[in-house]
């Protein structure tokens, strides 16, 4: 099937509902369940989970652990086994690892067989059944899923990054506008925005004067590898080992380092206008580590000339550091240490760690509270898209070895997604005869 061409899959009742909300004049965010458009008397907020991996399961758990009356009603994943593992975790007798007390949330999970959807197109059916959707598949699919969820008029929690290429970014930006018009709450899992220490630092950012430069790090060992198994098609293999393929993951500068880059954008209040950098593959050379780099170093420049030096590395036994440092005319903000000093190192502010929260839970607590109250409070999609774009810009700079402007990158038309979503279809990149994938080579790889 061609997943991007036909948006008409939603059912008639859903269409009617959307029509009614629009006719109601958008006085508030669409408070879906209480209007009883769906399945009768139950006034729980209905949630659909699209993407049932480790993070999706975690996000669903957090949604079910909020104080609101929430019910998981549908699940979708490309793979049945991933969906089953997720269902098992959510319906476990004891989730005390999560909640701290004996007990479970299984009464809030109402997903019979007919509301479990697999394959590439299950998301549409799952989204149609819910008031709120959780989008936690590999990031390449996010624009497709976000667009559909907005089209169907749902509130949304979606994980970062929100795309892997500029064409995807444009789709998300357009859908974000639509979501604003419809007053759909959208929270993006850039959870530092929901973390007390970062919020307190942000409130006091003027203590450091004008921000002139910043450093951002995500250096560590890297992540899991899912080696190829007998009988897998190339598409299935890439979907299982998705971290190592740019169309699915975006490269680690996009998939992880976005967190740190986004913090700088947030504190800076803007997005870079250009970038140049370097990167490559020192250790990621095997058949199961696809095409992504294992290190990037990017110099991002903002409109006022201030610079973000951004580094990310996935190489074992090297210095590990995940942090941000913001330098202003009067002082420095140390995000990891949660303190602000003057330029001589004297403390201006220090966050009391006892006041730290669980930002992943806070995202859901705040989102579901707003939805329960019928309030429109969250419009994270635009920043999510622009911070994702910042990281993509960095990747395009390191892959090509060229200086690239934001506008040129965003308008490049770079589209990495497959033309056809099917287990038998060829993904956009396939291995050579030696089983290896061709990675970008600076100076040779051209992006625009």
Partner 1 sequence: MKSIATLFLFGLSLSSPQAQEKPFDHYQFDIPGTAFQMSMRAIKGGGFLMGDTDKKPVSVSDFWIGAYEVTHDQFSAFYKDETITQGSKVDAITRPTAQYIDLSWNMGKEGGFPVNSMSVDAAVMFCRWLYVKTGIFYRLPTEAEWEYACRAGTSSTYPFGDNPGQMDAYAWHAQNSENKYQKTGTKKPNGWGLYDMLGNVAEWTLDQYEEDYFTVIGPNAKDPLVQPKTRYPRSIRGGSYVDEPADLRPGLRRFSEPSWNQRDPQVPKSRWWLTDGMFVGFRILRPKLQPTKEEAEKFYTLYLGK
For residues 220 and 320, the answer to whether their CB atoms sit within 8 Å is yes
Which of 91, 99, 309, 420 touches partner 1 by CB under 8 A? 99
Please select the residue that binds partner 1; options are 43, 84, 121, 356, rule is CB under 8 A: 356
- 270-329: which residues touch partner 1 (CB under 8 A)? 316-317, 320-323
Which H/E stretch holds residue 350? strand 347-350
Question: Which is nearer to partner 1, 13 or 285 (by Cβ)?
Answer: 285
Binding mask 210-229 for partner 1 (x = CB under 8 A): --------xxxxxxx-----
Q: Whole-angstrom Cα distance, residue 194 to residue 126?
A: 27
What DSSP character marks residue 161? P
- Ranges of H-type helices in 24-100: 54-64, 80-90, 96-99
Q: Is residue 359 involved in binding partner 1 (CB under 8 A)?
A: yes
Query: Which residue lies nearer to partner 1 by CB, 124 or 364?
Result: 364
Return the residue of 19, 227, 286, 336 that touches partner 1, per CB under 8 A: 336
Closer of 37 and 334 to partner 1 (Cβ): 334
Pairwise CA distance, residues 378 & 184, whole Å: 8
In the sheet where 70-77 sits, what is the strand order? 116-118, 70-77, 45-50, 132-135, 155-158, 186-188
Beta partners for residue 439, in sequence order: none
The secondary structure of the chain in percent helix, strand, coil, rounded to multiples of 5, reads: 40, 20, 45
β-strands 116-118, 70-77 pairing: parallel
Options 30, 45, 49, 57; binder of partner 1; rule CB under 8 A: 57
Sheet containing 274-280: give its strands across.
347-350, 339-342, 331-334, 321-328, 211-220, 307-314, 295-301, 274-280, 404-405
Tokens 């705040």 belong to residue: 366
| Residue 361 interacts with partner 1 (CB under 8 A): yes or no | yes
Q: Nearest distance from residue 289's CB to partner 1, in Å? A: 14
Helix (H) and strand (E) counts in the chain: 15, 15
C-beta of 20 vs 96, nearer to partner 1: 96
Cis? peptide before 161, omega within 30° of 0: yes
Binding piece for partner 1, criterion CB under 8 A, among 37-45, 97-105, 137-145, 238-246? 97-105
One character per residue 116-155, x = contact with partner 1 (rule: CB under 8 A): ----------------------------------------
**Minimum CB–partner distance for residue 82 and partner 1 (Å):** 12
Select from 98, 141, 194, 242 the one that contacts partner 1 (CB under 8 A).
98
**Interface region with partner 1, contact rule CB under 8 A, candidates 137-145, 274-282, 356-364, 429-437:** 356-364
User: Structure tokens of 190?
Assistant: 């850039």
Binding-residue total with partner 1 (CB under 8 A): 36
Q: Nearer Cβ to partner 1, position 219 or 270? A: 219
Angle at 73 between CA 68 and CA 76, to 5 degrees: 125
Rounded Cα gap, residues 357 and 258, in angstroms: 21
List the one residue from 100, 112, 231, 269 that touches partner 1 (CB under 8 A): 100
Region from 49-57, 143-151, 387-395, 410-418 binding partner 1, contact rule CB under 8 A: 49-57
Pairing of strands 347-350, 339-342: antiparallel
Distance CA 178, CA 381 (A): 11
Residue choice 54, 227, 355, 435 for contact with partner 1 (CB under 8 A)? 54
Closer to partner 1 by CB, 5 or 346: give it. Answer: 346
Q: Which is nearer to partner 1, 39 or 358 (CB)?
A: 358
Rank residues 134 and 404 by Cβ distance to partner 1 and give the closer one. Answer: 134
Site for partner 1, rule CB under 8 A: 54-55, 57-59, 61, 86, 89-90, 96-100, 191, 218-224, 316-317, 320-323, 336-337, 353, 356, 358-361
């Amino acid at each position: 099937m061609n997943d991007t061409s036909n948006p008409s899959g939603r059912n008639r009742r859903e269409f009617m509902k959307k029509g009614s909300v629009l006719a109601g004049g958008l006085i508030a965010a669409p408070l879906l369940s209480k209007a009883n458009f769906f399945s009768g008397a139950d006034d729980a907020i209905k949630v659909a989970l699209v993407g049932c991996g480790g993070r999706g399961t975690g996000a669903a758990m957090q949604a079910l652990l909020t104080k609101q009356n929430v019910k998981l009603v549908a699940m979708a994943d490309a793979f049945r086994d991933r969906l089953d593992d997720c269902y098992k975790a959510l319906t476990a007798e004891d989730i005390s690892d999560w909640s701290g007390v004996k007990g479970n949330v299984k009464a809030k999970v109402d997903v019979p067989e007919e509301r479990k959807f697999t394959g590439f197109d299950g998301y549409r059916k799952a989204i149609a059944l819910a008031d709120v959707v959780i989008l936690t598949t590999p990031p390449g699919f996010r624009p497709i899923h976000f667009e559909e969820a907005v089209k169907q008029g749902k509130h949304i929690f979606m994980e970062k990054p929100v795309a892997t290429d500029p064409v995807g970014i444009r789709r998300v930006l357009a859908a974000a506008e639509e979501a604003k018009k419809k007053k759909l709450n959208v929270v993006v899992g850039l959870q530092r925005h929901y973390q007390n220490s970062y919020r307190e630092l942000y409130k006091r950012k003027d203590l450091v004067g004008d921000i002139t430069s910043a450093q951002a790090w995500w250096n560590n060992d890297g992540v899991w590898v899912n080696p190829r198994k007998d009988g897998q098609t190339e598409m299935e293999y890439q979907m299982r080992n998705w971290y190592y393929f740019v169309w699915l993951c975006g490269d680690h500068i996009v998939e992880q380092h976005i967190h740190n880059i986004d913090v700088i954008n947030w504190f800076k209040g803007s997005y870079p206008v250009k970038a140049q950098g370097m990167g490559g593959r020192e250790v990621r050379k095997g058949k199961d580590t696809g095409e992504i780099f294992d290190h990037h170093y990017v110099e991002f420049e903002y409109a006022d000339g201030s610079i973000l030096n951004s580094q990310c590395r996935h190489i074992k036994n090297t210095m590990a550091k995940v942090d941000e440092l913001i330098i202003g005319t009067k002082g420095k903000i140390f995000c990891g240490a949660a303190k602000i000093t003057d330029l001589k190192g004297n403390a201006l502010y220090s966050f009391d760690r006892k006041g730290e929260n669980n930002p992943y839970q806070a995202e859901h607590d705040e989102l579901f509270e707003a939805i329960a109250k019928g309030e429109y409070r969250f419009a994270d999609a635009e920043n999510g898209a622009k911070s994702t774009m910042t990281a993509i810009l960095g990747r395009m700079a390191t892959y090509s070895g060229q200086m690239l402007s934001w506008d040129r990158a965003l308008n490049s038309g770079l589209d990495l997604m497959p033309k056809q979503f099917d287990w038998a279809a060829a993904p956009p990149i396939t291995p050579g005869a030696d089983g290896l994938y061709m990675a970008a080579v600076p100076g040779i790889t051209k992006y625009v």
